[in-house]
Structure 1
Amino acid sequence: MAADLSTPARQALIALMVSVERASNPDLRRNYRVEVTKGAREELEREKLISWEKGPRGAIFYELTDKGWRRARQEFRSAPPERVTGPWLLHYATLRHLDSLMERADYKIADVFAGPDPGPATAAGAAGEPSVEDRVRAAYLDLARTPGDWIRLVAIRARLTDVARSEQDRVLTEMDRRREIHLDPDPARNELPQDALDAAILIGGEAKHLITIGRA
């Protein structure tokens, strides 16, 4: 039987489900205008539905446990919490339609929420132009022989010459923070050519020259 959760706990559970990856309260407020309140955190933790850890600058990052994902799946069939506003009623109506589709197609929740929330379409995205994040991933996949290979950032930047260096750094830092990529110093940095040194990104005061995607 599903845990009887309060409305804030159910909303936090849904927010972490659609976020897919671990997220902090600033992330959830920015993307969904929802946060994991102290009471909701205690409820969800008591039911073993979330795990959390402290990140940079003391920020707390939350993610669903396996039990949390199973509980989130039950929300697709649940009545909305009492006294919620119209947008939440529409949200639960959408979940009911999605539930019907998943049942007919034998989809699991992992089939639907398989990657991080891409966010709303921008004007560029609507026109079919890939985002800088998409271009970083595409450049890596083109350069790497297998997922998890280490690639020098200088090679990635060479594919992004039309993007300002500051924007490249912002996107790379954000992707690294979300653990979509991993950046690392080159062990042979004393032997690197100048262009590879210049292409490094500073994170936490350390120069990172290498990027990988798909490494556990």
Structure 2
Amino acid sequence: MAAELSTPARQVLIALMVRAERVSNPDLRKAYRIEITKAVREELAAAGLLVFEKGPRNAIFHELTDRGWARARREFRCPPPERVSGAWLLHYATLRHLAGLLDRTDRQIADVFTEPDRGPGTGTGTGSIEDRILDAYRELAEKPGDLVGLVALRQRLTGVDRTDQDRALAGLDRRREIHLDPDPARHELTPDAHDAAILIGGEAKHLITIGRP
């Protein structure tokens, strides 16, 4: 039932679903004029719906867990929270129509929201960066399924902002087009290899693989 979460928590759940990536409060304020308070962060984390971690300049980055994505999908059929603005009423009406479309076409929520939304006026997605990631892997790997260090892969992405790299990697991993894994010999990694890691679900991932060996 919708009552299991507070109204602010439900709104944050929807925002993180639409955003479809690790996101900080400054990003959320810029894109949607909302932010994740400590109380809401703890509410969602306690329910296993959200993970968070500190990033550069002590900014806190948030991302939905698999359970969070499933709970966000339930919002499509939930009544809107009480005492919200007309914009949120329209939003939930739209979600109900979208739920019907997904059911009729046998589509999944990932088909709609795994391409990150950066908010108004922020570009058209990460397709070209994703292509460069896939190309870089093919250049570095001897065969499909080989493990390649992110430190080597990032060296092939010259001119691409680190944030955009992380966004593209996370999207590819979420869609299972690539697999990101931690290095089992983390104590042997160089500082550059540690720095090149990406945090997914609160865990540092140092390696990328595509396909089967």
- TM > 0.5: yes
Letter matched to residue 58 of structure 2: G
What count of residue pairs does the alignment treat as equivalent?
167
Q: How many Å separate the matches in 1 of 2:132 and 2:67? A: 36
* Structure 1 residues 174 and 143: CA distance shift in structure 2, 3 A: closer
Find the counterpart in structure 2 of residue 100 from structure 1: 100
Aligned to 1:43: 43
Task: Provide, for residues 97-125 of structure 1, a one-character-per-residue CA deviation record: whole Å limited to 9, x for no partner.
Answer: 10000111111222222232254467x86
Larger Rg: 1
SS at match of 1:215: strand
Spell out the pairing of 1:76-87 with structure 2 (5 A cutoff): 76-87=76-87
Is there any run of 5+ residues in structure 2 with no aligned partner, and where? Answer: 139-143, 171-191, 196-206
Q: Which letter maps to 2:53?
A: E
**Structure 1 residues 139 and 48: alpha-carbon distance in aligned structure 2, compared to 1, 3 A threshold:** closer
Asked if the contact 1:52/1:62 (under 8 Å) is kept, the reply is yes
Matched, 1:174 2:167: no
Which whole-Å deviations, capped at 9, do the CAs of 1:148-168 have from their partners, x for residues lacking one? 8756868x66xxxxxxxxxx5
Deviation digits for residues 117-154 of structure 1 (CA, Å, limit 9, x no counterpart): 254467x86xxxxx7x5544445556663798756868
Partner SS, residue 4 of structure 2: coil
Residue identity matched to 2:208: R
Q: CA deviation at 1:45?
A: 1.6
Give secondary structure in 1 for the equivalent of 2:114. Answer: coil
Identity level (%): 54
Contact 1:2 1:71 in 2 (8 A): no
What residue in structure 1 maps to residue 22 of structure 2?
Answer: 22
Contact 2:130–2:168 (CA<8 Å) still a contact in 1? no
Letter of the structure 2 residue corresponding to residue 172 of structure 1:
D
**CA distance 1:74–1:41, change in 2 (3 Å):** same
How many Å separate the matches in 1 of 2:154 and 2:41?
A: 40
Gaps of 5+ in 1: 126-130, 158-167, 182-202, 207-213
